[in-house]
Structure 1
Amino acid sequence: MRIKEWYVAKRAQGLSQQIAADGAGVSVRSAQRIDRGDHQPDNQPHCGRSWRTRADPLADVWQSVLVPMLEKAPQLEPQTLLLHLEQIRPGEEWYRRKRTLQRRVE
């Protein structure tokens, strides 16, 4: 029997929330969520959001400049790409996008 089912069964027997939670090995806060129906089912893992929280900082150069360079020379490192961006588009703060570029190249 899973923890949530055990907890619900003990609550149905008339045990208090605190005692049923202790017996099931969950916190009182989790027990409150189970009672409200807000508790995440055990068989459904929590999934992250599917939308972006910020605008893509490399959107204007990724497909047009960087992808063709990486297709021609896949061994290029992010620092090299960053230096290239600084040469072709001076005046923008490319160093602020360094970590994003590193993640994207991986």
Structure 2
Amino acid sequence: MFWSKAMKELTEAEIDQLIEHYPLPDDRDDGILGLADTALALGVSLPTMQRYLKIGLPAIRRGGIGRLWRIRLAAAWAWRQALIAERVESKAKVQKARSALACRIR
């Protein structure tokens, strides 16, 4: 589900669905942040944040020469949680396939 959308920009409706499914923790307030502040809020490094943006993390305004990034924290949080969930699910499928293959070999 998620990776198929990761390489294209998400629609507002898709972002809203992600936020509804993966809300911010109660101790965090939503807001519009820059690149560094979003990375800090998510607990990731700047290179990781830049990689996330390349693969589809939604941004209100893309940064560039003389332009600051503008990222909604709730959207970034939800996008990252969906990414983590999909990676966990993918790893589980691979492990299940390996186990099934190992059973057949014996």
| TM-score between the two structures when normalised by the length of structure 2 | 0.24
Q: Which has the larger radius of gyration?
A: 1
